[in-house]
Amino acid sequence: MTKEHIHVIIKFRPKNKREKREEKEGNLVDKNPIIFQNNDEQKHGVIEICGTKSTNPHNFTFDRILKDGTSQKECFKHVAEHVCDDVLEGFNGTIFAYGQTGSGKT
């Protein structure tokens, strides 16, 4: 049985065509860049979302950060495998996926 009860994991989806085009054209001036910090082997990562001229940067800490190139197999290993193992041993388990429609929660 897993000793920790709650894990907060973030997964970035791959950029869509529009985002790739805007990045290539340099049209991301108004976007808030994301900076990854302390992300050793994608464990216990911190992301910093840079603020606009009127706001300060915000830091968010996660148990794991899965970047946009993470395969389904890796995602399952880090997110669901231990939960499935516990459920098969008779314990309750829940995986709650939250995100925008079309962002790849499945």
| Segment 33-60, tens digit of pLDDT | 666 665 455 456 777 776 666 677 777 8
| Residue 90 confidence (pLDDT) | 92
Instruction: Tell me the pLDDT band of 10, cut-offs 50, 70 and 90.
Output: confident
pLDDT at 89 over 90: yes
Judging by beta carbons within 10 Å of its beta carbon (0-12, 13-18, 19+), is residue 93 exposed, middle or buried?
Answer: middle
What is residue 40's predicted lDDT score, i.e. its pLDDT? 53
The pLDDT > 70 percentage for the chain reads 69
Q: Provide the whole-model pTM.
A: 0.65
